[in-house]
Amino acid sequence: MPAIDQLVHTVAARRIICRGQDDLTSVPIICSGWALSAVMLPDGSRQILSFLLPGDLVSPSLLFDSKPDSFVEAITTVTYRAFNRLNLRQAITTEPAAFSALARMWFREKRRTEELVVDLGRRSASERIARLIIGLVERLQERSMTSGPFEVDFPLRQHHIADATGLTPVHVNKLLSEFRRKELIRLSDRSLAILDPAAFRAAANLR
Amino acid sequence: MPAIDQLVHTVAARRIICRGQDDLTSVPIICSGWALSAVMLPDGSRQILSFLLPGDLVSPSLLFDSKPDSFVEAITTVTYRAFNRLNLRQAITTEPAAFSALARMWFREKRRTEELVVDLGRRSASERIARLIIGLVERLQERSMTSGPFEVDFPLRQHHIADATGLTPVHVNKLLSEFRRKELIRLSDRSLAILDPAAFRAAANLR
DNA sequence: CGACCGATTGATTTTTGTCAACAAAGGTGG
DNA sequence: CCACCTTTGTTGACAAAAATCAATCGGTCG
């Protein structure tokens, strides 16, 4: 990744944006598109830690250090802006506002990661999938990235859902089919609609 | 939890030290004993997020905010020191050394949580248990809390291991029995020894 | 003593993964 | 534009992993 500040970069779908091992001189912020942050295991399987949407800092912790075996990959075509790492770090230590902004981001990320731990540790496969979808829809709503009341563009493949929920793609497929059969959601052609929000939240064990 | 700074508090095993909902005026640091941080689910099951050993700050994020449904519980008798939250926060924003100390703690915690995500999402039950045990032994070694080369005091009950690894106590029991049968570990009377470190690490898929 | 907690074990069920086959969609190079 | 190849989604049969249920037993603590 080039180190030039402020320049907008474009990455095609399925390409890697950065790896934990890279010594990063810049911190990317997503401008458009979806990305994922994941850990690769030696056996070839992987665990997605988070999905990154426009406005997301690519791992706040990258400000300080990198992480082994973790990487960020584009799901759709992604554009991002690279900010100078040292400059950001400087801003954080000198400006209180920047510091608390960072603290808030860290906080949100931490909370999301811990919710993921709870989901993976203590919830059923269908709960995990439903919660993942609802969480993403809520984040898209916050960004006004909706195409209808409960309808959004949804570029994830079933294997993304599998890698995020700790399941196999085949099993994800079967459970999504079941959600469709029960008319809780509609999902086709990269478009998702939650048809029965109340019932779907119930399936996710929310509210 | 009283707000008096620097005072050492004592909590009996199985008692709650603090809850996320509490508006905390102080931040506890464990002086002796083991504690756990966990999330409770409505159905009564729970997910342990981390075990706290002497020297650990009870959730660095408590410096800024609290978290719903998460709580800290004593496993053994625990003593902790309560530090004033605002003072600590002040120190962090004014002293660079304190700031980077906090950043490092945050970092370690983040890394551990993400490793937990990977374990829960992508590893088998026996790998999870072995990794949990090895991680704890390593942390105890760092603190010189060992009673032999690969031997430590180990106050966890099987249900603690179950709640940390997202398994049932019954299943944990069976897998621990298998580790014992294979003579990888010895575990009885709150004492743990890793008899065959190489084989046990292999079971954990480490190194 | 009696109640509870924790560990253990076996039988059985549920959940999830694996394997295999196939079809639709989409991109690529000729 | 077509032929080919890869990716993605789908389905069914079967296997493995883990949960559930149930019973027992030994401590520990009022």
- pLDDT, one tens digit per residue, over B26-52 is 888 999 999 999 999 999 999 999 999
Q: Which chain B residue is nearest to residue A117, measuring alpha carbons?
A: B117
Residues 6+ apart with CB under 8 A from B124: none
Q: Report percent pLDDT > 90 for chain B.
A: 70
* CA geometry: angle A69, A73, A75, nearest 5 deg: 150
- Predicted TM-score (pTM) of the model is 0.94
CA distance B69 to A116: 15
Name the region of A96 (left: φ>0; alpha: ψ -120 to 50; beta: rest).
Answer: alpha
B61 to chain A, minimum CA–CA distance in Å? 7
**Mean pLDDT along residues B13-25:** 81
Place of tokens 């939250």: B85
- Residues B98-136: pLDDT tens digits? 888 888 888 889 999 999 999 999 999 999 999 999 999
pLDDT attached to residue A133 = 98
pLDDT attached to residue A23 = 63
Q: Which chain A residue is nearest to residue B162, measuring alpha carbons?
A: A121
CA distance A126 to A178: 9
A92 to chain B, minimum CA–CA distance in Å? 10
Residue type at A50? Answer: S
> In the structure, what pLDDT confidence band is assigned to residue B194 with cuts at 50, 70 and 90?
very high
pLDDT attached to residue A86 = 84
Query: DSSP letters of B89-142?
Result: HHHHHH-HHHHHHHHHHHHHHHHHHHHHHHHHHHS-HHHHHHHHHHHHHHHHHH
Helices (H), chain A: 85-94, 96-122, 125-142, 158-165, 169-181, 197-203
Residue type at B17? Answer: I
pLDDT attached to residue B96 = 85
Between the CA of B44 and the C1' of C3, what is the distance in angstroms? 22
Higher pLDDT, B145 or A23: B145
Q: How many CB atoms lie within 10 A of CB B118?
A: 22
Chosen from A46, A59, A104, A120 to mutate, greatest number of chain B CBs within 10 A: A120
Q: Do B114 and A67 count as a contact with CB atoms less than 8 A apart?
A: yes
> In the structure, what pLDDT confidence band is assigned to residue B23 with cuts at 50, 70 and 90?
low
Q: Lowest-confidence range among A55-64, B12-21, B118-127, B192-201?
A: A55-64
Q: Which chain A residue is nearest to residue B110, measuring alpha carbons?
A: A110
pLDDT in tens, chain A (207 residues): 444 456 899 999 999 998 876 666 788 899 999 999 999 999 999 999 999 999 998 876 666 665 667 899 999 999 999 888 888 888 888 888 888 888 888 888 999 999 999 999 999 999 999 999 999 999 999 999 999 999 999 999 999 999 999 999 999 999 999 999 999 999 999 999 999 999 999 999 998
Chosen from A95, A109, A110 to mutate, greatest number of chain B CBs within 10 A: A110
pLDDT of B66 over the 70 cut: no
Query: DSSP letters of B30-91?
Result: EEES-EEEEEE-TTS-EEEEEEE-TT-BS-GGGGT---TTEEEEESS-EEEEEEEHHHHHHH
Between the CA of A137 and the C1' of D15, what is the distance in angstroms? 36
Q: Is the CB of B120 under 7 A from strand C?
A: no
pLDDT attached to residue A84 = 86
Q: Is B116 part of the contact surface with chain A (CB cutoff 8 Å)? A: yes
pLDDT attached to residue A107 = 85
pLDDT of B3 over the 50 cut: no
Q: Report percent pLDDT > 70 for chain B.
A: 90
pLDDT attached to residue A3 = 43
Q: Do B93 and A99 count as a contact with CB atoms less than 8 A apart?
A: yes
pLDDT of B6 over the 70 cut: no
Residue type at A170? Answer: V
Protein residues with beta carbon less than 7 Å from any atom of strand D: A 14, 157-159, 169-170, 173-174, 176-177, 188; B 124-126, 166-168, 170-171
pLDDT attached to residue A48 = 98
CA distance A194 to A61: 33
Interface of B with A in 124-163 (CB under 8 A): none
pLDDT attached to residue B24 = 67
